[in-house]
Structure 1
Amino acid sequence: MNFELITTDTGSNARAGKITTAHGEIATPIFMPVGTVGSVKAVTQDQLRNAVQAQIILGNTYHLYLRPGMEVLSQAGGLHRFNGWDRPLLTDSGGYQVFSLAANRKIKEEGVVFQSHIDGSRHLFTPENVMDIQRTIGADIIMAFDECPPYPSEYRYAKKSMELTHRWLDRCIQQLKDTQPAYGHEQTLFPIVQGSTYKDLRAISAQEIAARDCAGNAIGGLSVGEPEQDMYEMCGLVCDILPKEKPRYLMGVGTPWNILENIALGVDMFDCVMPTRNGRNGMLFTWEGVMNIKNKKWATDFSPVDENSACFASRDYSKAYLRHLFAAGEILGMQLASIHNLAFYLELVTEARKQILAGTFTAWKNSVIGQLKNRR
């Protein structure tokens, strides 16, 4: 993997760059649709490529490990061939999913013992076998196995968790040195900065991660319930420490305004389930604000969801029709809303990139961010 930093905004730390992987190029800043089990919910690969204009999508190690399982993915030739996605892929290590299974897992130095949410079977994730699993999945960018502490966390727990994450990282790095990619293309490891909302811990973790000299770096443990201002403060602190010549990935964030504020702090890559999850529930993100398409006021509004969009789901269907689909319980409504939201997120980061390249990002961000938060 190669990262080229093209320019930095004059009024902020926002950056425009280019990541090159074995499966194609990624223009940054970028939003990555989440395909947890190898599928972005309700959206086909063709729609991701053409309507959404996605450049990279995510899979999740925990979910793919449980099903379809590594034997199936190995026989298929990896996730790219299994799901028909021919562009870059990133896999989350499963650390966040293990965190969310708090009642059904036990963390120890060796790794994490957890129970499957599917059938209750017991499994062990270690830094070593998580790297092996991601080798089998075959993603271009793979994540180190980490512990994601909850919010709020006591200082002592957050520190212990961070130190464990650093020790696990060294084991991840060693395992990748001892093994080879399964399908002939390079896989790039991103370590993850932790430390909860404690400034000193975040600084220590960022310094430790930077010292490992990996090709890219991630920021985890945010967007887990902490106030937005705390997220921005931690992210800004970490971005000031992580090397400027490598891409920075803020995991699991977030709303359109979260994305713009964190781009301003120096983040290059984002992912979140929000566009598709909210879309399935009738919440649409637009340049004029967040729209509840189930609201009765849209029942006779025959204007397009967004007539200026290049995406068919936004341009070719009226608000009234989309509301009707939700009222009738039609699957098509959830599909169109999901595609619209994903296309909007990609349009958002694409426009942000244009503004960074033009040197006008800060003024532009400040002019649109209030509208994005409107409730319609």
Structure 2
Amino acid sequence: MTTDTITTDASRSDFSFHLAARDGAARTGEIRMPRGVIRTPAFMPVGTAATVKGMYPEQVKALGADVVLGNTYHLMLRPGAERVAKLGGLHKFMNWPHPILTDSGGFQVMSLSQLRKLTEEGVTFQSHIDGSKHVLTPERSVEIQNLLGSDIVMQLDECVSLPCEDKVAEKAMRLSLRWAERCKTAFGNPAGRALFGIVQGGVVPALRVESARELVAMDLKGYAIGGLAVGEPQDIMLAMIETVEPHLPVEKPRYLMGVGTPDDLVEAVSRGIDMFDCVMPTRAGRHGQIFTRFGRMNLKNAKHAEDPRPIDPQSSCQAANGYARAYLHHLVKAEEMLGKMLLTWVNLAYYQDLMAGLRAAIAQGRLQDFIAETKEGWARGEPAGEPA
């Protein structure tokens, strides 16, 4: 384990990354900006449409989240970026005065929109909501994110589905690089905010390396790895992280987009990733699935119907330590809104506790022990009788 104090030029931009400690490739530190500090490694709850589904903003913050994610595609369609700006910006609109990262909308355009047409200029598409026609260019994506008041803005990129032919991945990667240049020009250098580039290239190592090197040459405030967690096996995803990581600056934050399971998180942290987002904990909670230190549990299962025990009495989360499994099972089976809320709470609490544990383990130089203990708990499952 080594300790460092590596910063960007905070006096110029008021956005800085402070790397406090390393354990192997893993890092812990802080991203500092006017609206707050993001402790890294960080998991960002997904608030796609200006809400983390099933949670009050105060709950999300109390669990330990320093930043949430909003989405350009969804917010441009409803309620509209100009309307949000008139109402004081996204932070005021959703009552979240802390940092917000906005995804550029590229992934959603490719995966959700109807009759999309991709050109050098941008993407023309029909809304999945009402079929209305829209155009999203790199400049418009940055404009929308600026109207929202995002603290961390993501470049517009083309995200291809995997598996795909190498030539398809190459074409998308090169287009994404050209769009990154246009995003940088459109974004400028506003104080206290940051533009991140997105490394693309499918599962072709040479393309990933080229993408990373070209983006680093643009001297952006941070770098994301995109186009993964889209159905490829975990070992492929981890191999791509290992390919890209040596080519990213040590002194800038690294963000793995759309990831993932608790196991994905610990493996990616050990390979040098600082930031994550994923809908998994909230989506799973709405469908009766929870993540715990004993592994994954399904509250739909009949075995919980008469179980008076809480999920985990040692958890700091009231939803995990204060409600009977039988009651949670009933809520899930009855499709009650409260069940979705409570299980989402359980999941986000576990994810934030896991990240806090990873940060502490890196600082103490015992990351591999922490990961081994954590995985042993998942594999062993719940002890007989009362949860340990």
TM range (shorter): over 0.9
CA pair 119-103 structure 1, distance change in 2 beyond 3 A: closer
Aligned to 1:300: 306
Q: Distance in 2 between matches of 1:124 and 1:329?
A: 38
Shift of 1:345: 0.3
**In structure 2, which of residues 316, 322, 329 is the aligned counterpart of residue 310 of structure 1?**
316
Q: Which residue of 2 aligns with 1:343?
A: 349
Name the counterpart of 1:125: 136
Deviations 1:176-210 (A, max 9, x none): 12xx86xxx63200000000001111111111111
Correspondence 1:4 to 2:18 = yes
Classify 1:215/1:309 alpha carbon distance in 2 versus 1 (closer, same or farther; 3 Å).
same
Out of 290, 307, 322, the position equivalent to 1:284 is 290
Structure 2 residue 366 is matched with structure 1 residue 355: no
Quote the Cα distance in structure 1 between the aligned partners of 2:204 and 2:376: 29
Matches within 5 A, 1:203-222: 203-222=209-228
CA contact (8 A) 1:59 1:90 kept: yes
Structure 2 SS opposite 1:104: strand
Q: CA deviation at 1:302?
A: 1.4
Deviation at 1:139, TM superposition (A): 1.0
1:63 maps to which residue?
74
Q: How does 1:143-182 map to 2 (within 5 A)?
A: 143-177=154-188
CA apart distance, 1:300:
2.0
Which aligned pairs between 1:251-266 and structure 2 lie closer than 5 A? 251-266=257-272
> Residues of 2 paired with 1:269 and 1:208: CA distance?
21
TM-score when scaled to structure 2?
Answer: 0.92
The aligned amino acid for 1:210 is V
3-state SS of 1:18 partner: strand
SS of 1:240's partner is helix
Q: Aligned match of 1:74 in 85, 93, 104?
A: 85
The equivalent position to 2:35 in structure 1, one of 9, 23, 45, is: 23
Runs ≥4 residues deviating over 6 A = none
**For residues 240 and 369 of structure 1, what CA distance do their matches in structure 2 show?**
26
CA distance in 2, matches of 1:53, 1:195: 33
8 Å Cα contact 1:88-1:140 kept in structure 2: yes
* 1:39 corresponds to which of 47, 51, 63: 51
Deviations 1:147-202 (A, max 9, x none): 0011011011110100000000000001112xx86xxx632000000000011111
Q: How many pairs does the alignment contain?
A: 368
Would the aligned equivalents of 2:114 and 2:127 in 1 still touch at CA under 8 Å? no
Q: What's the % identity of the aligned pairs?
A: 48
Distance in structure 1 (CA, Å) of the matches to 2:87 and 2:104: 20
Deviation at 1:375, TM superposition (A): 7.5
Superposed CA RMSD: 1.4
Aligned to 1:333: 339
Structure 1 unpaired stretches of 5+: none
* Cα distance, 1:370 vs structure 2: 4.4
Which of 92, 96, 111 in structure 2 is aligned with 1:85?
Answer: 96
Q: Offset at 1:296?
A: 1.0
Maintained 8 Å contact 2:113/2:127:
no
Which of 85, 109, 134 aligns to 1:98? It is 109
TM-score normalised over the length of structure 1: 0.95
Q: 1:103: Cα distance to partner?
A: 4.9
Partner of 1:235: 241
